[in-house]
């Protein structure tokens, strides 16, 4: 019997090749898109789960009390984690991790590269976090004070085929011109689905040599704790709060635990390990819906075409019933046919996924690989196949099995009502319009961010790290560069303008009340910083290199002055970390971070005798024309003055773009899946319009015989598409408006919801639908009426 069913189905597919290709292509594309999204979701959910003690690892995070709203950061004071471990039996082990704040020049022999994937950690780090050692031991990763563990990639990069154990790397910094580290271990490259990244991990006992001051008031360490099984987290938090009052005489800090499982998806910190963080879990929900939507569109295509052609199989159904087939057997038959078609589509979908995965990884910035041995992947893809099979086959099977033989064989069979198909087509277009609107609004918000007046002129600016003896050559470098017509300015900054790497409560000012508490972002700059970036001064003046007293004076932004409640700030005596000076200027607010957040207080100061010279970044602002020629000349000058250090620069605009890399990738994914949804909708409409044109051949012939023109015939067909799209907008527009308003709440600075994007999306879908539908309408309209009537009668 199964063989009979299969032969019958294959014959049907062979007779209706266009129908078969349409269904297989639509289902395969829909399943491929759903599988790609599923792979993306699996990757998002897999972050940090490769660690053996994943379920019991927690990150210690900090909440800082602030009158304008609490500040949440992930770093803590260096002594905190060991003190908590010593005092709390619930904590089995702690480890600290500190990324180096800037690039370092790493050298071995003639190989020299600037690297920014360097961090410090305790030896206990590898007790908490599972990394595969290729050489060396996780039990004793740092046998000496200057020991370091490197990744396989860096071992090959610097040592080639040599055994790196016991070999040295030279790290060139300004604070300590040259530090030598000894390789004590090599690990597999840190997986992309880890929230901590490093290629060189140095014993944290070396931190002092790199300029870190490790005390209770400097929150610079990311600390992690391994807890016992089944710890009462609420009770543990109470104990931590009690200890905090013993560690600190003030109540500015509160510490809590964040589960490792929440770090990637649920972090929302003003300052995280590598900058601010935004929760990404909402994108998982969004893309689950998109996967369902796209698969639904594919299923709807199958249902529409199957039900539209149901009358062509009515006689077959009736004959089978006459010969004793039950309705249950017929349902099984047609569900089986759906399964066979979906299996063909699934195999094609997997080939499409394999082919598209490299481009998809480039699109999303991931390193997804298909692991056929992964149980979650297998169960997920099988679930997609089952959903597609049941969704596409259930209704057509029920419809076909419902025909009554007596009526069908006597010619009384009627086609299934088109109302249900129209509802499904409208649903398809609603999904397509919704995705296009969301894509348009994401694009508009990113454009708004990119064009928003930040209060700082960052365009045409390159930056390089300050390392080694470069600091000694900065005055000569600046003097020579400013003679070049292609260079507008040059300045030095501890941090890039896109990110204030550190902050403090340790700022006091004249008139400060006892209850006043202000957390300030800090940046050490030179006198050319403000003019180079075109930062406007609201009051006072800039730093003056000819005034020695300015080495301990300060410039703050308007937000800081407002929160200090100072009406006349210029000249007010102030103290920062023991540096006693006065406020000499107030900057107009400028964005030095993501536009997700409001502008925060910031203080600028210049080099003073308490610091060993400049460090951080050299920033060079270019005129804008002949950039390549200017860069060549800068490189030539650099090589003359600093021959020992390679000229490797980056554009500051790229640093700003990295603040919104998640949104940029979401825009690309939205656009991709919106295009797919439109394509699949039109694919279904194409097949449906082909059948409609075929069934209305006689009607078209009569209309033409009565004098209707080809344009009128095409208009008649097109009206269906117009109605469907107009009705689809009634559903899509409110949903899109609700989602976009919810998404925009994540941004402090946001664009308005634009009506023209809604209208343009509707017009775009309408135009594509009309083109798709009119293809068959025009073809049918051009047939000679005599031929149409003759074909229909035959």
Q: Which range, of 70-74, 403-407, 563-567, 699-703, averages the lowest pLDDT? A: 403-407
Q: Identify the three-state secondary structure at position 453.
A: coil
The 10s digit of each residue's pLDDT in 546-604 is 898 898 999 999 999 999 989 899 999 999 878 899 999 999 999 887 777 788 899 99
| Helix runs in 46-107, H state only | 80-87
Is pLDDT at 60 greater than 90 in this prediction? yes
What is residue 609's predicted lDDT score, i.e. its pLDDT?
Answer: 42
Is pLDDT at 470 greater than 60 in this prediction? yes
- Calculate mean pLDDT across residues 304-309: 68
Reported as half-sphere exposure (CB side, CA atoms, 13 A), residue 333 has a value of: 24
What is residue 710's predicted lDDT score, i.e. its pLDDT?
Answer: 62
What is residue 285's predicted lDDT score, i.e. its pLDDT?
Answer: 85
To which H or E segment does residue 522 belong? strand 520-525
What is residue 216's predicted lDDT score, i.e. its pLDDT?
Answer: 85
Residue 145 burial by Cβ neighbours in a 10 Å radius (0-12, 13-18, 19+): exposed
* Residue 42 confidence class, pLDDT cut points 50, 70, 90: very high
pLDDT > 70 in the chain, percent: 82
What is residue 475's predicted lDDT score, i.e. its pLDDT?
Answer: 85
To which H or E segment does residue 508 belong? strand 507-509
What is residue 275's predicted lDDT score, i.e. its pLDDT?
Answer: 75
The 10s digit of each residue's pLDDT in 128-161 is 999 999 999 999 999 999 999 999 999 999 999 8
The 10s digit of each residue's pLDDT in 251-280 is 889 999 999 999 999 988 888 888 777 778
Q: Which of 419 and 512 is assigned the larger pLDDT? A: 512
The 10s digit of each residue's pLDDT in 201-247 is 999 999 887 777 778 878 889 999 999 999 999 999 999 999 999 99
Between CA 118 and CA 116 the distance in angstroms is 6
Q: Which pair of tokens denotes residue 520?
A: 């300030």
For the chain, give the mean pLDDT: 83
Between CA 152 and CA 136 the distance in angstroms is 12
What is residue 46's predicted lDDT score, i.e. its pLDDT?
Answer: 92
Q: How many CB atoms lie within 10 A of CB 594?
A: 22
Is pLDDT at 343 greater than 50 in this prediction? yes
- Calculate mean pLDDT across residues 513-532: 87
Q: Identify the three-state secondary structure at position 497.
A: coil
Q: Identify the three-state secondary structure at position 682.
A: helix
The 10s digit of each residue's pLDDT in 313-336 is 656 666 666 656 666 776 777 777
What is residue 571's predicted lDDT score, i.e. its pLDDT?
Answer: 93
What is residue 714's predicted lDDT score, i.e. its pLDDT?
Answer: 67
* Residue 175 confidence class, pLDDT cut points 50, 70, 90: low
Q: Which of 426 and 162 is assigned the larger pLDDT? A: 162
- Calculate mean pLDDT across residues 181-188: 96
What is residue 212's predicted lDDT score, i.e. its pLDDT?
Answer: 76
Phi, psi of 552 (to 5 degrees): -125, 15
C-alpha distance from residue 39 to each of 17, 57, 270, 332, 743 (Å): 32, 25, 30, 32, 24
* Residue 672 confidence class, pLDDT cut points 50, 70, 90: confident
What is residue 783's predicted lDDT score, i.e. its pLDDT?
Answer: 60
Residues of 669-681 as b/e, b for ≥16 C-beta within 10 angstroms? bbbbbbebbbbbb
Q: Which pair of tokens denotes residue 5?
A: 């069913």
Between CA 587 and CA 398 the distance in angstroms is 72
* Residue 794 confidence class, pLDDT cut points 50, 70, 90: very low
- Calculate mean pLDDT across residues 767-777: 72
């Amino acid at each position: 019997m199964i063989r009979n069913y299969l032969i019958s189905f294959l014959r049907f597919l062979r007779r209706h090749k266009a129908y078969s290709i349409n269904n297989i292509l639509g289902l395969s594309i829909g399943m491929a898109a759903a599988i790609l999204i599923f792979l993306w979701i699996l990757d998002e959910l897999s972050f940090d789960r490769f660690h053996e003690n994943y379920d019991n690892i927690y990150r210690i995070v900090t909440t800082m009390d602030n009158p304008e709203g609490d500040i949440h950061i992930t770093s803590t004071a260096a002594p905190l984690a060991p003190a908590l471990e010593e005092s709390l039996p619930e904590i089995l082990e702690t480890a600290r991790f500190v990324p180096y704040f800037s690039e370092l020049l790493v050298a071995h022999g003639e190989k020299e590269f600037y690297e920014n994937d360097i961090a410090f950690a305790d030896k206990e780090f590898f007790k908490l976090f599972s990394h595969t050692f290729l050489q060396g031991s996780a039990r004793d990763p740092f046998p000496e004070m200057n020991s370091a563990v490197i990744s396989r990639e860096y071992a090959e990069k610097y040592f080639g085929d040599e055994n790196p154990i016991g070999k040295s790397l030279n790290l060139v910094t300004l604070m300590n011109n040259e530090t030598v580290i000894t390789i004590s271990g090599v690990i597999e490259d840190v997986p992309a689905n880890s929230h901590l990244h490093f290629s060189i991990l140095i014993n944290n006992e070396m931190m002092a040599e790199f300029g870190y001051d490790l005390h209770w008031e400097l929150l610079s360490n990311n600390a992690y704790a391994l807890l016992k099984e089944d710890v009462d987290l609420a009770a543990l938090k109470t104990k931590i709060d009690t200890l905090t009052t013993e560690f600190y005489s003030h109540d500015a800090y509160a510490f809590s635990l964040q589960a490792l499982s929440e770090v990637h998806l649920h972090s929302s910190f003003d300052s995280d390990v590598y900058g601010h963080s935004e929760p990404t879990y909402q994108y998982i929900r969004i893309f689950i819906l998109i996967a369902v939507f796209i698969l639904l569109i594919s299923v709807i295509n199958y249902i529409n075409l199957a039900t539209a052609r149901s009358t062509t199989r009515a006689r077959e159904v009736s004959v089978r019933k006459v010969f004793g087939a039950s309705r249950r057997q017929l349902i099984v038959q047609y569900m089986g046919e759906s399964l066979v078609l979906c299996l063909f589509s699934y195999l094609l979908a997997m080939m499409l996924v394999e082919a598209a995965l490299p481009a998809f990884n480039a699109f999303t910035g991931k390193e997804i690989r298909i692991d056929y041995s992964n149980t979650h992947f297998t169960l997920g893809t099988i679930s997609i196949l089952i959903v597609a099979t049941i969704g596409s086959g259930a209704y057509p099977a029920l419809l076909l099995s419902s025909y009554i033989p007596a009526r069908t064989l006597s010619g009384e069979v009627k086609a299934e009502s088109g109302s249900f198909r129209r509802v499904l087509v409208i649903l398809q277009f609603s999904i397509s319009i919704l995705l296009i609107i969301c894509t348009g609004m994401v694009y508009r918000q990113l454009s708004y961010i990119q064009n928003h007046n930040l209060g700082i002129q960052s365009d045409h600016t390159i930056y390089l790290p300050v390392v080694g003896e470069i600091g000694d050559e900065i005055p000569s470098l600046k003097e020579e560069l400013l003679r070049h017509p292609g260079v507008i300015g040059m300045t030095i900054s501890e941090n890039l303008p896109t990110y204030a790497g550190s902050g403090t409560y340790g700022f006091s000012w004249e008139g400060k009340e006892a209850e006043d508490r202000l957390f300030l972002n800090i940046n050490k700059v030179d006198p050319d910083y403000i003019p180079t970036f075109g930062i406007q001064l609201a009051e006072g003046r800039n730093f003056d290199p000819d005034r020695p007293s300015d080495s301990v004076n300060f410039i703050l932004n308007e937000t800081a002055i407002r929160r200090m409640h100072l009406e006349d700030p210029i000249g007010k005596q102030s103290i920062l970390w023991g540096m006693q000076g006065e406020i000499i200027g107030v900057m107009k607010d400028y964005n030095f971070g993501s536009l997700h957040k409001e502008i925060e207080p910031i203080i600028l100061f210049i080099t003073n005798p308490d610091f060993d010279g400049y460090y951080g970044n050299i920033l060079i602002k270019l005129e804008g024309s002949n950039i390549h020629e200017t860069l060549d000349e800068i490189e030539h000058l650099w090589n003359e003055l600093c021959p020992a250090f390679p000229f490797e620069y980056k554009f500051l605009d790229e640093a700003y773009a990295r603040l919104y890399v998640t949104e940029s990738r979401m825009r690309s994914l939205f656009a991709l899946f919106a295009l797919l949804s439109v394509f699949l909708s039109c694919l279904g409409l194409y097949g449906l319009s082909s059948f409609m044109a075929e069934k209305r051949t006689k009607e078209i012939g009569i209309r033409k015989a009565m004098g209707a023109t080809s344009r009128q015939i095409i208009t008649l067909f097109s009206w269906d598409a117009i109605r469907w799209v107009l009705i689809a907008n009634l559903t899509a527009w409110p949903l899109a408006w609700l989602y976009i308003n919810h998404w925009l709440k994540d941004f402090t600075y946001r664009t308005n919801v634009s009506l023209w994007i809604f209208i343009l999306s509707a017009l775009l879908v309408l135009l594509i639908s009309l083109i798709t539908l009119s293809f068959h309408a025009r073809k049918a309209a051009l047939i000679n009426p005599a031929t149409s009537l003759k074909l229909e009668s035959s």
